[in-house]
Amino acid sequence: MVTRTVHESDRTDTDLTDTDLTGARSASGAVLEVTGLAVEYVTDGDPVRACADVTFTLRRGEILGVAGESGSGKSTLITALTRLQRPPAVTTAGSIVFHPRDGGPAVDLVTASPRTLRALRWTSLSIVLQSAMDALNPVMRLGAQFADVLRTHDRSLSRDAAWTRAAELLATVGISGDRVRSYPHELSGGMRQRASIALALACRPELVVMDEPTTAVDVVMQRQILAQVLRLRRTLGFAVVFVTHDLSLLLELADRIAIMYAGRVVELGTAQEIYDEPRHPYTRGLRDSFPPLRAPLRRLTGIPGTPPDLRRPPSGCPFHPRCAARFDGCDTHLPGLVAAGGHAVACRLHDPAATGRPADTGQQDRAARPDRTAGPEGGAR
């Protein structure tokens, strides 16, 4: 167990838990409360901190998007949330409190016993993985895999009833019921992914974690799959944590979006806020890394530099080596996630104490937008 630095834990406690960061004040509105989560990879040398200080609340029925580049800790976060992590990954701090729908006692998933977890899996918490081919058992017919899940969690269900239910579940994602007798390799990639979504929803969970579920399929199929997820969510009311590197997709899909960089949540706000007024320079850079499909084209520059190596994270704000808006102290002070009206950001541009002027949004926005007004490379030829 590695001790956290002093000011990190200070930040977590003072800035986040007490403020109305998410708008979900009462525990009844929240399905998952993550507080100060840290995940480390134990290595021969110093541990690599892949997730640090992750705090957010997921409301019932909400779609929370988690966006970040490779190495930003988003997959680590997912395996920690679902307790699917394997050594050398270790959760070293924080809590993940799950509130069951029926008003039962809240469960901290970090410390829950295997027995408790086993009861929660599928019925309360399920996961859809990126590669459906790896998630489905290649030597079992689809129906058998569904029956396996259904009958484990409902002992009274007969074999025939389970297979019938499997066919119904497949039908909800647009796969004809007679495919229950198919093996995974007999389905197309899109159908496999839809089948694994149906499987994740088989026991009507309250929370579904989706790890880049549409990265391996084409855009047309992607839209089709997401349409089905949204439609099922409307009828079943589950909450979704949707992880992807494709921010442009999240902007259309998610209710709120958390932007991760170097293992930390650097900004958290509604999809509209993230698109219209991103506050963190990284978020802005990421947003501007997606060329528009219809809006007038302008020269975009992406974000110079490369994501940091978490074995040797930069001092201070992890984004400062790539940040065009950095100023004195960014290389030594690590900003915490500070909320203002539900929109939280971890950037010293938005910290009155650091900038030495009152927290005026307009001013900060101007200061934070060098690429728009006087950017070094903003101009096109």
Please, is 329 exposed, middle or buried when counting C-beta atoms within 10 Å of its C-beta (0-12, 13-18, 19+)?
middle
The answer to whether 312 contacts another protein (rule: CB under 8 A) is no
Nearer to another protein, 152 or 228 (CB): 228
The answer to whether 253 contacts another protein (rule: CB under 8 A) is yes
The answer to whether 271 contacts another protein (rule: CB under 8 A) is yes
The answer to whether 155 contacts another protein (rule: CB under 8 A) is no
Residues in a beta bridge with 57:
33
Residue from 64, 147, 226, 337 binding another protein (CB under 8 A): 226
Q: Least distance (Å) from another protein to the CB of residue 372?
A: 8
Residue from 135, 136, 149, 249 binding another protein (CB under 8 A): 249
Helix residue ranges, H only, 260-338: 271-276, 281-287
The answer to whether 251 contacts another protein (rule: CB under 8 A) is yes
Please, is 164 exposed, middle or buried when counting C-beta atoms within 10 Å of its C-beta (0-12, 13-18, 19+)?
middle
The answer to whether 294 contacts another protein (rule: CB under 8 A) is yes
Packing angle of the helix pair 219-236, 189-200 (nearest 10 deg): 20
From 103, 76, 70, select the one nearest 89 (Cα to Cα). 76
Nearer to another protein, 36 or 285 (CB): 285
Q: What are the helix and strand counts (H, E) for the chain?
A: 14, 12
Q: Least distance (Å) from another protein to the CB of residue 367?
A: 18
Residue from 154, 230, 311, 361 binding another protein (CB under 8 A): 230
CA 369 to CA 144: how far, in whole Å? 55
**Contacting positions for another protein (CB under 8 A):** 61, 69-70, 174, 188, 190-191, 218-228, 230-231, 234, 237, 245-249, 251-254, 270-272, 275, 285-287, 289-304, 306-307, 372, 378-381
